Structure 1
Amino acid sequence: DPDAADLTAATAEEIAAVLSYALRYDERGKPRRSGWDFAAGMAAERLTEHLRRSGYIVMRARPGRPHSAG
């Protein structure tokens, strides 16, 4: 779990992309059989806008430094 210093606010585009992915794929990364990929993108954008209007700020962990082998 990251601590507060490792968090940054996610952009609306990042939030919509994550929501769209969650609606299109299951927990193993396999496509859902619903066949509504187009609607998933629209639903993700709608949810993102609703979160913004409701005053929510979604935080995400900053990318970590790449580790070096050795």
Structure 2
Amino acid sequence: MKIKVDATKCIGAGLCVVAAPEVFSQNEDDGLVIVLQESPPPHLHEACREAARLCPALVISFDE
């Protein structure tokens, strides 16, 4: 899995961090998404899928 985000459309809701804190974080200045692991290990894939589903701005996508 390779994570992709469009940070220019991020609204800083932070639900990605709640769903997958090992993979996503937020910038302290503006709250926008930061990807900590572009290619997370398999045990985090479902959490990444959940983060993508929860994102209100739909900025998270991935290649399996």
Please, what TM-score do these two structures have when normalized by structure 2?
0.27
Q: Which has the larger radius of gyration?
A: 1
The structure with the greater share of residues assigned to helix is 1
